[in-house]
Amino acid sequence: MTTSRISGFYNMTLEERREKITEALAVQTPPDLAAWTSGGLSAEAADHMIENVVGMHSLPLGIALNFQVNGRDVLVPMTLEEPSVVAGASFMAKLARASGGFQATTTDPLMIGQMQVINIANLNEAKLKIYEKKAELLEEADSIDPILKKFGGGARDLEVRIFNDSPIGGFLVVHLIYDVRDAMGANAVNTACERLAPKIEAITGGKVHLRILSNLADRRIARARCTVPVKDLAFETVTQDGILRYSGEQVRDGIIAAYAFAAVDPYRAATHNKGIMNGVDSVVIATGNDWRAIEAGAHAYAVKNGQYTSLSTWGKDAEGNLVGTLEMPMAVGIVGGATKVHPAAQAAVKLMGVKTANELAEIIVSVGLAQNMAALRALATEGIQRGHMSLHARQVAIAAGATGEMVEKVAAQMVAEKVVRIDRAEELLKQNNEGKR
């Protein structure tokens, strides 16, 4: 069985870490981790991916440890530029392990395609006429993608909505509900909408204007929950003012109060959800999925009841343990698009051993929840800057020109002084160089 617990990972070299994760995987053929050393993508493949290519843009790829999702250990690849995120997710996954890790579920992978029908004389009549032909329309939509159909996907439902009042007056919107199985689904759904459009026009006498997938993928939901024993939340930390001690109850109640803030205030909810997306997006990017689609869906879903709010909830169970839940749209695929052609993304999918898009979605939503817990725990106790600062200080030191052991030295000095700025890093480097002369 694969283990996601690797001790001392943090202090290993990159090469040692790659060896360790290969060892930790209980598979015959490990993923091609060379894709991560080279950045993965050849110039030729990149040139076929988008337009006007002139080069490549790299981001760090780290592995989040300790994750157990639905009873299975999983090593989670995370691609992002922000310090503390991988460490935060790994630490929270460790705390959640004591109660079995993350329990996650998904709905069927149903995406929504939208057709806007304009120039209609009677909207109510047109709506009913479409419903009268629903079976026929679904049959046609179902036959469009034989591959998807072979794997159990296809058209599932059709819904008609009326907008009476808009800047152009009234129009209809037809929703085609499509099971896209292991694909992200944009291509399948857009194709189906384009193909159905002439039929809708013939039925309604109107004109089908837009034909496009909706990123508010509220029929394709991923859910995760976790429980952290209250005693495991206790910790102490050394500060300049002495040792700060937090009881488990204090941390738990601090996290719950932080959640309450996001639940009622959109200004806080935006930042709270950003913390969730730190975890979500980094796995979405590592697997070559469309993170803009995931972002759009997440934030639109967060406002589904009329006020923008937290995507997660935090509370306690009957024993006083901390309980977290997260529910959000998760339109990710493991076939097609960059996931299929980008070697680094293929390695990421293989590392996690996922066989379906839903399994990937279940891991991603668990990482989002872990990340949210990490941010709230820090905010509710010592504050976010302490953990953040030491890694940030290293980046500032590098930006100022520090190399080798000077990176740590300059960073440590700036953290001690609580002045993490490029001008201070440059000054410290200058002092060091003068000292050597």
The one catalytic residue among 20, 82, 207, 295: 82
CA 358 remoteness from chain centre:
13
What is the distance between the alpha carbons of residues 412 and 418, in angstroms, rounded to a whole number? 10
Question: Nearer Cβ to ligand MEV, position 189 or 255?
Answer: 255
Residue 299: C-alpha distances to residues 218, 303, 367, 401 (Å) = 11, 7, 17, 38
- Using a 10 angstrom Cβ sphere, with 0-12 exposed, 13-18 middle and 19 or more buried, the burial of residue 434 is exposed
Residue nearest to ligand MEV (CB): 275
- Supply 102's token pair: 């993350």
| Spatial CA neighbour of 258 closest among 412, 372, 150, 177 | 372
Question: Is 157 a known active-site residue?
Answer: no
- In the complex, least distance from residue 377 CB atom to ligand MEV, rounded to whole angstroms: 10
What is the distance between the alpha carbons of residues 77 and 354, in angstroms, rounded to a whole number? 12
Question: Nearer Cβ to ligand MEV, position 22 or 385?
Answer: 385
Question: Nearer Cβ to ligand MEV, position 215 or 278?
Answer: 278
Question: Nearer Cβ to ligand MEV, position 211 or 299?
Answer: 299
Strands 103-106 and 221-228, sheet pairing: antiparallel
- In the complex, least distance from residue 277 CB atom to ligand MEV, rounded to whole angstroms: 9
**Residue pair 310/262 in contact by the 8 Å Cβ criterion:** yes
- In the complex, least distance from residue 138 CB atom to ligand MEV, rounded to whole angstroms: 43
Question: Nearer Cβ to ligand MEV, position 25 or 389?
Answer: 389
Strands 207-213 and 110-118, sheet pairing: antiparallel
The one catalytic residue among 142, 281, 290, 359: 290
The one catalytic residue among 20, 129, 274, 316: 274
What string of DSSP letters covers 320-337? S-EEEEEEEE----SSSH
- In the complex, least distance from residue 204 CB atom to ligand MEV, rounded to whole angstroms: 47
| Alpha-carbon radius of gyration of the chain | 25
124-138 core/surface letters (b: 16 or more CB in 10 A; e: else): eebbeebeebeeebb
- In the complex, least distance from residue 274 CB atom to ligand MEV, rounded to whole angstroms: 5
The one catalytic residue among 133, 175, 207, 388: 388
What is the distance between the alpha carbons of residues 53 and 277, in angstroms, rounded to a whole number? 28
Question: Is 290 a known active-site residue?
Answer: yes
Q: Which parts of this chain interact with ligand MEV (CB under 6 A)?
A: 82, 271-272, 274-275, 278, 375-376, 379, 384
- In the complex, least distance from residue 365 CB atom to ligand MEV, rounded to whole angstroms: 17
Question: Nearer Cβ to ligand MEV, position 82 or 218?
Answer: 82
Q: What is the DSSP letter of 231?
A: G
- In the complex, least distance from residue 375 CB atom to ligand MEV, rounded to whole angstroms: 4
Question: Nearer Cβ to ligand MEV, position 212 or 379?
Answer: 379
Strands (E), 49-141: 61-64, 68-69, 72-73, 76-79, 103-106, 110-118
Residues marked as catalytic: 82, 274, 290, 388
